[in-house]
């Protein structure tokens, strides 16, 4: 068992959530087996062992938007993503993410959403994946549907993310960038499912529901695992 080191947490769109986690003094644990709305997580591409990542570095081609990559580093704070609802469907904090549910993934440190469109990716010429928007607000091209085998997204389960507007799957096939992001892998979207499009929830702050004294649901208690 260990405790969250609040001094090393990054400033972010969800800094209030992180602050609450520090205040509660949450410790490491594995009792929460599901992925829930409002959670802040790292996502691992199982085939290539890289975590979904972004940073304030723009593509030099294609859309010119903020780049999204895969990194092997476990501790990098630029790999945290917040699970949110869409502009049409609210994702109540602490409720399980259902298989088939459409969500947005907001990059914590920059406030931009995981995004895709019909630009070619710079290395493989697959469909470009970028980070887009401001303070969590972008457009309909930020929406991804969670594909999983149970009724809800389980933390131990490999899942896929299908881009709602283009029907392409979030993928990594191993191409590596040079400078200024040397060694990071290209993340793109592909039309066909494969081992390259399987992801798993890893480290993060997992929001769990609890009952309040009045009997209604209270979704404000985070479970932390870094």
Q: What is the pTM of this model?
A: 0.82
**In the structure encoding, which two tokens stand for residue 215, read together?**
């009997």
DSSP readout, 104-160? EEEETTT-PEEEEEEEEPTTT-SEEEEEE-BTTB--GGG-EEEE-SSSB-BTTS-BE
Pick the CATH number of 33-205 from 3.40.50.300, 2.80.10.50, 3.40.250.10, 2.60.120.10: 2.80.10.50
Q: 58 vs 3, 70, 78, 187, 209, CA distance in Å? A: 35, 15, 15, 14, 37
Start-to-end CA distance of the chain, whole Å, equals 11
Q: Tell me, what's the pLDDT at 31?
A: 58
Residues whose CB falls within 8 Å of the CB of residue 215, separated by 6 or more in sequence, listed in order = none
Distance CA 73, CA 127 (A): 25
Distance CA 13, CA 36 (A): 18
Sign of CA pseudo-dihedral 92, 93, 95, 98: positive
Domain-wise residue ranges, the chain: 33-205
Q: Contact at 8 Å (CB) between 65 and 55?
A: no
Q: Tell me, what's the pLDDT at 211?
A: 35
Residues facing residue 45 across a β-bridge: 50, 199
Q: Tell me, what's the pLDDT at 136?
A: 87
Q: Tell me, what's the pLDDT at 18?
A: 52
Q: Contact at 8 Å (CB) between 134 and 116?
A: no
Q: Tell me, what's the pLDDT at 28?
A: 33
Q: Contact at 8 Å (CB) between 97 and 88?
A: no
Pick out the chain residues at pLDDT < 70: 1-31, 209-226
């Amino acid at each position: 068992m260990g405790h969250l080191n609040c001094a090393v947490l990054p400033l972010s769109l969800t800094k209030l959530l992180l602050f609450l986690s520090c205040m509660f003094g949450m410790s490491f644990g594995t009792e929460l087996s599901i992925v829930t709305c409002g959670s802040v997580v790292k996502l691992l591409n199982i085939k290539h062992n890289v975590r979904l990542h972004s940073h304030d570095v723009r593509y030099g081609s294609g859309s010119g938007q903020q780049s999204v990559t895969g990194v092997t580093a476990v501790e990098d704070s630029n790999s945290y993503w917040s699970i949110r609802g869409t502009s049409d469907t609210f994702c109540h904090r602490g409720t399980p993410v259902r298989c088939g549910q459409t969500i947005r993934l907001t990059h914590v440190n920059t406030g931009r959403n995981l995004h895709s469109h019909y630009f070619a990716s710079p290395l493989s010429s697959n469909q470009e994946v970028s980070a887009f928007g401001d303070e969590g607000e972008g457009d309909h091209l930020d929406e991804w549907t969670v594909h999983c085998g149970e009724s809800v997204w389980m933390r131990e389960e490999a899942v896929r993310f299908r881009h709602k507007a283009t029907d392409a799957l979030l993928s990594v096939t191993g191409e590596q960038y040079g400078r200024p992001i040397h060694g990071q892998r290209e993340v793109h979207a592909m039309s066909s499912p494969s081992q390259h499009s399987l992801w798993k929830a890893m480290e993060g702050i997992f929001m769990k529901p609890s009952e309040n004294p009045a009997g209604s649901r209270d979704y404000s208690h985070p479970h932390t695992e870094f």
